[in-house]
Amino acid sequence: MSSTSENIDKNLTFRRYEDGDTKWDQWQEKIFDASHSPMCPEYVLSTPPCQGSCPAGEDIRSYLNIVRGVEKPPAGISWQEYAFRRLTEANPFPAVMGRVCPAPCESGCNRNQVDDFVGINSVEHFLGDWALANKMGYSSKAESTGKSVAVLGGGPAGLACAYQLALKGHSVTIFDEHELLGGMMRYGIPSFRTPREVLDGEIQRILDLGIKTRMNTHVGKDISLAELENQYDAIFMSMGAQSGRPLPVPGAEAPNCVTAMAFLRAFNDGRLQHVGNRVVVIGGGDTSIDVATVARRLGKVTNKHETDHPEHVIANNASHDVAKISAREGAEVVLVSRASISKMHANKHEIEQAQAEGIEIICGITPVEVVRDANGRATALRVAEFEIVKGETVIKPGTERDLPADLIVSAIGQSVDFTGLEEFNNNRGLIKPDSHYRFPGKKHIFVGGDVIKPHLLTTAIGHASIAADGIHDYLSGLTELEKRPKVDKHRFDLQRKLLEKGLQVVEYDHTQTWGTDRSNFAVHNFEDRSAKYVIQSTELFLGHFTFQDRNKRETITLNADQALGNFNERLIALVEAKVVAEAKRCMSCGLCFECDNCVVYCPQAAVFKVKRDKSTIGRYVDTDYSKCIGCHICADVCPTGYIKMGMGE
């Protein structure tokens, strides 16, 4: 029900008063003074902004509604499993993404207009861990198509595409140059952010669908693309961008000036055990934070040999033995960023954690030169203040200074290894596909992930889903693929819910009729605009929602001393009760969450509850057009914006 003056909380950010007003006016006074119109209500499904902001296209609103108990699972399925199944229609890595995704969905959440966003990542984290603990697996009901697909790269894009294709009945083989699958999830993100048992569990669940692998195989070197084209019906290219970009300044060829990708690979392989006295990292994104926090944990060792430098381990696949027998001490770690802290691309929470761990962040400066000694090793990074003039970096004279360093790590970008696949390089080290993520001129080759543009893991998963649809259509005989919807997401399906309950919609008989409120050939009064429309907060009745504190996950914050040698996970999952409470904060934008406002406030009793044996989420209420006078009260008091005045003229 709507809020009253007695339960208004001053912490609300939603404006209940105009400037200068001090008196609270009851909502009812305006509601019952509503005008009339020739329009009657219809029930319009829209895409919520959380989902519209999710690069993977997760049906977030749906699994939150399942967790909170609004959408009921079919008999014999727990709500946890049902929510997990809905979530993984788009993303097969909920336990990983629930930990490391920077959550653009939460930035888009309409709840930000009331108090604070819904902790979507927290719910995803819980569901992912629950599924692993309860050994949830995937199964495909699709019959084998007899078609085969080669996937180049076993990172998030390749694995997600293989998963989607296997569910559609296709045979899939993943080719990867590494010993283990996971790509950036394994070789880029440190284990204290993504525990390896979690990653391994989610990968194995995908492989259990019957997906084959060819590891330690670089397509273009160990096997040619032409061979794959002869053996497979389609190809998905998701090699990733796991080659780092070196610093574009004089002296950067110093042996102890390395890329972030080489650094993280050596650490995640277990080879890198210490980093020296002082490490300087150049960047500003999530990768630079990962490098800095890893370096802080590794620290330096005493009694090491002068020849036992970190760059030897990073470059030569050797291992550090000295660290195992020497005392470990903290290393000084400095992160250099051209941007201010507020404009750094890294997750703000991770920046705060890095600073708490004693990592110094220096902003507003740019690398000028790597200072080297007589042996050619870097001893410092020379930096300076700068300004941008007509798109060019101009150094401010007299602002140069040297930052001493035993190891310099460049985290300024990534690139793709196109050896043997040069024809796909767009001359900028990436691949440019069409809107279906198909390579122009090659109808059987599709692309996804960082080979298009290095971005979030969840972006790669979204690419994979769209590409898998295109591959499936191509293998089904469609040479010209249909236009993708404007809002290209995994959407709530009302008809699927009706079928789950044993209710069927009769096929339209194509005879002329007036209205659809009593006809059986359609879900009457209902329209699905989710493929083309994202609902805004201005279309919701925000007055319905009271202030509720977000249920926040506990993060173990370490200081400089505690971080040294600490590779334990820092993020603690919410318990079940708090997960349910957090899901209940969801405003279910664009879909009914059964609050009863429209039924209670309708002065004509035109809006009524659908009988229990015929109702489901999205079909909870209906309208009798013979009683409706078009007063639009039901639309005014609908918290979710699900009711629109759209039927009739």
501-511 pLDDT, tens digit per residue, is 888 887 777 77
Q: In the prediction, which pLDDT does 18 show? A: 59
How much is the pLDDT for 330? 85
At 540, list the tokens.
């919701």
Task: Answer whether residue 139 is part of any domain.
Answer: no
Handedness of CA 382, 383, 388, 391 (dihedral sign): positive
Measured at the CA of 234, the angle between CA 231 and CA 240, to 5 degrees, comes to 105
What pLDDT score does 1 carry? 34
Least confident stretch, 159-163, 240-244, 429-433: 240-244
Rounded Cα–Cα distance for residues 287 and 291 (Å): 6
In 10 A of CB 77, how many CB atoms? 13
Expressed as residue numbers, the domain containing 403 is 246-415
Same domain assignment for residues 127 and 152: no
Residues 258 and 384 in one domain: yes
Same domain, 276 and 294: yes
CB 99 within 8 A of CB 193: yes
pLDDT tens figures, 21-58: 666 566 555 555 556 677 889 999 999 999 999 999 99
- Span 374-406, pLDDT tens digits: 999 999 999 999 999 988 999 999 999 999 999
Where is pLDDT greater, at 179 or 519?
Answer: 179
Number of Cβ within 10 Å of residue 632's Cβ equals: 20
Residue 640 lies in a domain: yes
Residue 297 has pLDDT above 60, yes or no: yes
Q: Please, what is the angle between helix 576-583 and helix 60-68, to 10°?
A: 120
436 and 331 in a common domain: no
Q: What is the mean pLDDT of residues 510-518?
A: 63
Residues of the chain with pLDDT > 70, as a percent, come to 89
The pLDDT > 90 percentage for the chain reads: 74
The span from the CA of 131 to the CA of 358, in Å, is 36
Picking from 288, 314, 286, the residue whose alpha carbon sits closest to that of residue 406 is 314
d(CA 25, CA 4): 10
Q: pLDDT by residue (tens digit) across 426-445?
A: 888 899 999 999 999 999 99
Instruction: Give the per-residue pLDDT at 524.
Output: 77
Rounded average pLDDT over 299-309? 66
494/630 same-domain check: yes
| Amino acid 52: pLDDT | 95
> Residue 571 — φ and ψ, nearest 5°?
-100, 125
Contact 597, 1 (CB under 8 A): yes
Verify that 298 and 375 share a domain, yes or no. Answer: yes
Predicted TM-score (pTM) of this structure: 0.90
Q: List for the chain the helix, strand, coil content (%; round to 5).
A: 30, 15, 50
Task: Report in angstroms the alpha-carbon separations of 373 from 5, 377, 380, 522.
Answer: 72, 6, 9, 78
For the beta carbon of residue 638, count every other beta carbon within 10 angstroms.
23
- Residue 2: which pLDDT band, with cuts at 50, 70 and 90? very low
Is the same domain home to 583 and 622? yes
User: Does residue 485 form part of some domain?
Assistant: no
How confident is the prediction for the chain on average, in pLDDT?
89
Q: Is 160's pLDDT higher than 50?
A: yes
449 and 238 in contact (C-beta within 8 Å)? yes
- Strands 607-609, 571-572: parallel, antiparallel or unpaired by DSSP? unpaired
Residue 227 pLDDT > 50, yes or no? Answer: yes
pLDDT above 60 for 16: no
Model pLDDT, residue 4 = 38
Q: Is 573 a member of any domain?
A: yes
Measure the CA angle with vertex 80, ends 77 and 83; round to 5°: 90
Q: Do strands 554-555 and 571-572 pair parallel, antiparallel, or not at all (unpaired)?
A: antiparallel
Residue 318 predicted with pLDDT over 70: no
CA distance 375 to 580: 61
Residue 141 lies in a domain: no
Q: How far apart are the first and last CA of the chain?
A: 31
Q: What is the band of 212 on the pLDDT scale with cuts at 50, 70, 90?
A: very high
Which of residues 394, 415, 436 is at a domain's end? 415
SS (H, E, C) 481-517: CCCCCCCCCCCCCHHHHHHHCCCCCCCCCCCCCCCCC
> What letter represents residue 212's amino acid?
K
- pLDDT score at 40: 86
pLDDT tens digits along 627-636: 888 888 999 9
Same domain, 507 and 638: yes
36 found inside a domain: yes
Rounded Cα gap, residues 362 and 15, in angstroms: 39
Q: DSSP 3-state assignment of 80?
A: helix
pLDDT digits (tens, 9 = 90+) for 138-158: 999 899 999 999 999 999 999
What is the longest distance spanned by two Cα atoms in the chain?
92
Same domain, yes or no, for 597 and 453? no
Whichever domain contains 468, its CATH number is 3.50.50.60
* pLDDT for res 427: 82
**For residue 537, what pLDDT is reported?**
94
| CA–CA distances in Å: residue 628 to residues 40, 43, 553, 598 | 7, 14, 47, 12
Residue 626 confidence class, pLDDT cut points 50, 70, 90: confident
